[in-house]
Amino acid sequence: MNKALHLVPPAEPGLSRYASLAQALRARVIAGEWSPGSALPAESQLATEHSVALGTMRRALELLAEQGFIERIHGKGTFVRQGLSGATMLRFFRFDSGTGEVPVSRILQRSRVNAPAAVSRVLGIGTGEPVLRLHRLRLMGGQPRLFEELWLPLDLFEPLAEDDLSTWDDLLYPMFARRVQVHVHRALDDIGFAQLSASQARHLGLPAGHPCAQVQRSAYDLTGRCVELRITRGDAHAFHYTVNIT
């Protein structure tokens, strides 16, 4: 690849040099020039490639690191960030059963459906486009605790539509990365309050109409595409969350 391609950074008007450098590098990452988990060239090499001072390239890389695109490890290198790790729904709930324990997952239902309007709007696909719909129960200490509905755009998740469910992992995101190369990079969790429908309540062993906390998550990959819509419900009395205000 021609190293002289990336020159004279301030292409963008009104942007500092390091900011447009960061933008250029982000584009190279999104284009897949380096895949998640792999290393970028050393900062010194990137600096000469883009013919800027080392310090300027460092600022650009620091910016990308702040934004969660890359990860810098002293002595090892600079890496394209892997998918989210700490995205567990347990951040929102506190159950008596053992702490830190990963909830066991049981897929109750898997089907191809045409996306309802609300779902397709969030996923950014056409109404009626095919999606994979999952119903999933999560148990801790043998007790059913969370009930989840997921919608996944079928064009990305086709290989997971028909395979053996017993091979599925309790944690979905690492499996998504391994099986269909979908890396969840960012997520928005919308928290609200509702009451359990009869069928939801049955799965959780609670009475219908029981108060529940409801988390609607939309998850995005590196390119900003929405790759998952998930609604998680659990007993409202087990909900807790701490917000740090500064």
Q: Site map for a second copy, 16-55, x if CB under 8 A? A: ----------------------------------------
Residues 8-47 as x/- pattern, contact with DNA by CB under 7 A: --x-----xxxx--------------------xxxxxx--
Q: Render the burial of 46-55: b for 16+ CB within 10 Å, e for the rest.
A: bbebbebeee
Is 79 or 114 the residue whose CB approaches a second copy more closely? Answer: 79
For the bound state, the minimum distance from the C-beta of residue 18 to DNA, rounded and expressed in Å, comes to 4
Cβ proximity to a second copy, 21 vs 213, nearer residue: 213
Q: Can residue 164 be called a binding residue for DNA (CB under 7 A)?
A: no
Q: Take residue 134 and report the two structure tokens written for it.
A: 């999952």
What residues are paired with 136 via a beta bridge?
Answer: 107, 148
101 interacts with, out of DNA, a second copy, none, CB within 5 to 8 A per kind = none
Q: Give me the least distance between CB of 94 and a second copy, in Å please.
A: 9
By the 10 Å C-beta count (0-12 exposed, 13-18 middle, 19+ buried), 23 is classed as middle
Phi, psi dihedral angles at 203 (to 5 degrees) = -60, -30
CB 185 within 8 A of CB 176: no
Site residues (CB under 8 A) for a second copy?
68, 84, 86-87, 185-194, 211, 213, 236-237, 239-246
Site residues (CB under 7 A) for DNA?
10, 16-19, 40-45, 52-56, 58-59, 72-78
